[in-house]
Amino acid sequence: MISAGDFRNGITIEIDSNIFQIIEFQHVKPGKGAAFVRTKLKNIISGGVVEKTFRPTEKFPQARIDRKDMQYLYSDGDLFNFMDVETYDQIGLNADAIGDALKFVKENEMVKMCSHNGKVFAVEPPLFVELAITETEPGFKGDTATGATKPAIVETGAQVLVPLFVEIGDVIKIDTRTGEYLSRV
């Protein structure tokens, strides 16, 4: 059990059989009345964000989130297949559970499966990936005064904005959290 007075960013708690992660918290001590904790909570199953206030003495059970490394094997229509590299167990998740988490992930790459009580609720791709450019327009000399970018399609089919000097066949490094180009490899 964790009390509201001990809240920190990133902690996961269970409220009314829902699992929430604390995004922001603020201890408020008004001049008149009792202190309270104002929080912004994200429901990790549905993704919704709510704001709630608590008395500092309220206690909540801390939710245990398991993160396990798994290998992304392939997609079969609407089903994405993953394998545990230690036990070789395979699981399939539908597109609704995945969202767009795999738009920068190639087959046979490692991802983290986030689960609570054995139920997978999210897939975390690696923070940085290296992908080849399959489609882009040629850049023109002299257009770089403003740090201009152009759209490019990478080998997974995702679109990324890249500098004008990047060409088809170049391998680039991408930050999967923001989808931004970082550098050429």
Residue 56 and residue 7 in one domain: yes
Residue 107 and residue 73 in one domain: yes
Residue 119 and residue 133 in one domain: no
Q: What is the pLDDT of residue 116?
A: 81
**Domain boundary residue, one of 60, 78, 104:** 60
Residue 10 vs residues 16, 52, 103, 137: alpha-carbon distances, Å: 19, 16, 25, 41
Residue 8: both structure tokens together: 């920190």
Residue 72 and residue 103 in one domain: yes
Residue 76 and residue 31 in one domain: no
Q: What is the pLDDT of residue 40?
A: 92
* Domain residue limits at 102: 66-124
Residue 180 and residue 141 in one domain: yes
Residue 39 confidence class, pLDDT cut points 50, 70, 90: very high
Residue 10 and residue 46 in one domain: yes
Residue 133 and residue 116 in one domain: no
Residue 21 and residue 71 in one domain: no
**Domain boundary residue, one of 78, 106, 124:** 124
Segment 124-179, tens digit of pLDDT? 888 888 888 888 888 666 655 667 788 889 888 888 888 888 888 888 998 888 88
Segment 79-138, tens digit of pLDDT? 888 888 888 888 888 877 777 778 888 888 888 888 888 777 778 888 888 888 888 888
Domain count across the chain? 3
3-state secondary structure string across 107-119:
CCCEEEEEEECCE
Please name the residues in contact with 176: beta carbons below 8 A apart, sequence gap of 6 or more. Answer: 104, 105, 125, 126, 127, 128, 129
- For residue 44, give the CATH number of its domain: 2.30.30.30
Residue 117 and residue 138 in one domain: no
Residue 28 and residue 77 in one domain: no
DSSP state of 161: E
pTM over 0.75: no
Residues linked to residue 54 through DSSP beta bridges, in sequence order: 37
**Domain boundary residue, one of 20, 37, 60:** 60
Ramachandran bin of 90, using left for φ above 0, alpha for ψ from -120 to 50, beta for the remaining angles = beta
Tell me how far apart the alpha carbons of residues 136 and 173 are, in angstroms, rounded to a whole number. 16
- For residue 151, give the CATH number of its domain: 2.40.50.140
Tell me how far apart the alpha carbons of residues 49 and 24 are, in angstroms, rounded to a whole number. 11
Residue 56 and residue 72 in one domain: no
Tell me how far apart the alpha carbons of residues 72 and 90 are, in angstroms, rounded to a whole number. 10
Please say whether the beta carbons of 77 and 37 come within 8 A.
no
Tell me how far apart the alpha carbons of residues 71 and 108 are, in angstroms, rounded to a whole number. 6
Q: Over 70: is that where the pLDDT of 55 sits? A: yes
Residue 87: both structure tokens together: 């036990």
